């Protein structure tokens, strides 16, 4: 089969791989229909995730059809259409039982990281019962792909731990797919103001369509801080989400949070940041970080079914699996291509 393979730093190729088969009774094999590229895939290509070794098929999101199941799989059968979760969960280990399946002793975030990923014709899924979700025909395919990772990530790591309340002022640093997913889901709690910060005017314009009330074209921490101080009467924001994963964007967050406010770090960081604890210790702030557990996936699926949000709006570009190298180029150069999420359709498997 063909798969998008991380060959070396900065190099991804569509290459030949052996088609997977069931190895353990709890396994499944899924024929991929549609997948996408995550910012974490770019971090891997940039060398920020050394645990992912060259030769690995990338990707941890998508939908497909179950082709094969082991004897120990109870919830899925051949022919089922499924959402592939970015988190593999056994549901029996210490961390799964403590609601932290992202750290599952038999899985966690391993797809496209420690084992072969979804950007391929077929994928081997360990612990299928805890790692797949039934995909309803009533929800748009592209919205279903967003349930693999970015929607639950933004909600679980950004929105939920922030304890955002009706009337709060929220700032989201980074208007990429994760930031826009946070923008969609934070509106469940009716904040009075949502300020988006980004380097891209095109992405800021898109955020207005998603529900942002204000935008700041970011340049330096000092300028962003001054603009937000002007918007908030010098108080700062109640909740700020870091949705990029760079020292400069984290610095913005710690400079705009109000007394008693909260910083939710959602971005994947490949380098250390400077944490101004000497300034923040006295401000009664809280800070949260984490890796998505995907334990809100079914709830978010119900939200999509209801039509409350349209996650397919996050998709701006479409490619075939045979065009995956071009898809990466377009996604990496998001500013010039006005790219949010891309959909990659498996056009190779008959």
How high is the pLDDT of residue 283? 97
How high is the pLDDT of residue 320? 98
Q: For residue 164, give the nearest of 189, 183, 196, 194 by alpha carbon.
A: 189
What would the pLDDT profile of 137-168 be if each residue is shown by its tens digit?
999 999 999 999 999 999 999 999 999 999 99
**Integer Cα distance of 206 and 240 in angstroms:** 19
Does residue 245 contact residue 269 with C-beta atoms inside 8 Å? yes
How high is the pLDDT of residue 329? 97
Residue 211: phi, psi to the nearest 5? 125, 5
For the chain, list residues with pLDDT below 70: none
Q: Can you give the pTM of this predicted structure?
A: 0.94
Tell me if residue 265 falls in helix, strand or coil.
strand
How high is the pLDDT of residue 259? 98
**Integer Cα distance of 29 and 48 in angstroms:** 29
CATH for the 2-149+293-345 domain, from 3.90.180.10, 3.10.20.740, 3.40.1160.10, 2.60.120.260? 3.90.180.10
Any idea where the domains of the chain sit in the sequence?
2-149+293-345, 154-288
Length of the chain: 350
Query: Which CATH architecture is the domain 154-288 placed in?
Result: 3-Layer(aba) Sandwich (3.40)
How high is the pLDDT of residue 43? 87
**Integer Cα distance of 319 and 347 in angstroms:** 9
Say whether 154-288 and 2-149+293-345 share the same fold: no
How high is the pLDDT of residue 68? 98
How high is the pLDDT of residue 281? 96
**Integer Cα distance of 138 and 132 in angstroms:** 18
């Amino acid at each position: 089969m063909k798969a998008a393979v991380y060959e070396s730093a900065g190099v991804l190729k569509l290459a030949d791989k052996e088609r997977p088969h069931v190895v353990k009774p709890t396994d499944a094999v899924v024929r991929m229909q549609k997948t996408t590229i995550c910012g974490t895939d770019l971090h891997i290509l940039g060398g920020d995730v050394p645990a992912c070794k060259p030769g690995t098929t990338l990707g941890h999101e998508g939908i497909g059809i179950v082709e094969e199941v082991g004897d120990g799989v109870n919830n899925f059968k051949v022919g089922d259409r499924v959402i592939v979760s970015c988190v593999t969960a056994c549901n029996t280990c210490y961390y799964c039982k403590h609601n932290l399946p992202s750290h599952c002793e038999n899985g966690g975030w391993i797809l496209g990281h420690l084992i072969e990923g979804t950007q391929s014709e077929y994928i081997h899924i360990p612990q299928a019962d805890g790692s797949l979700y039934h995909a309803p025909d009533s929800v748009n395919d592209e919205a279903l792909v967003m349930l693999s990772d970015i929607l639950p990530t933004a909600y679980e790591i950004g929105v939920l731990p922030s304890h955002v309340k009706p009337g709060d002022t929220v700032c989201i640093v980074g208007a990429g797919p994760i930031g826009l997913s946070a923008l969609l889901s934070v509106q469940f709690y009716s904040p009075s103001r949502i300020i988006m910060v980004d380097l891209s005017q095109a992405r800021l314009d898109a955020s207005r369509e998603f529900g942002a009330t204000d935008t700041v074209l970011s340049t330096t921490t000092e300028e962003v801080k001054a603009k937000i101080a002007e918007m908030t009467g010098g108080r700062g924001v109640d909740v700020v989400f870091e949705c990029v994963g760079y020292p400069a964007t984290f610095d913005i967050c710690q400079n705009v949070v109000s007394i008693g406010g909260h910083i939710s770090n959602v971005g994947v960081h490949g380098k250390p940041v400077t944490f101004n604890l000497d300034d923040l210790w006295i401000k009664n702030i809280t800070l949260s970080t984490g890796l998505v557990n995907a334990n809100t996936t079914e709830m978010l699926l119900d939200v999509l079914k209801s039509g409350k949000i349209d996650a397919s709006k996050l998709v701006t570009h479409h490619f075939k699996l045979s065009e995956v190298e071009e898809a990466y180029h377009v996604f990496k150069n998001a500013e010039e291509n006005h790219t949010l999420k891309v959909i990659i359709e498996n056009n190779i498997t008959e």
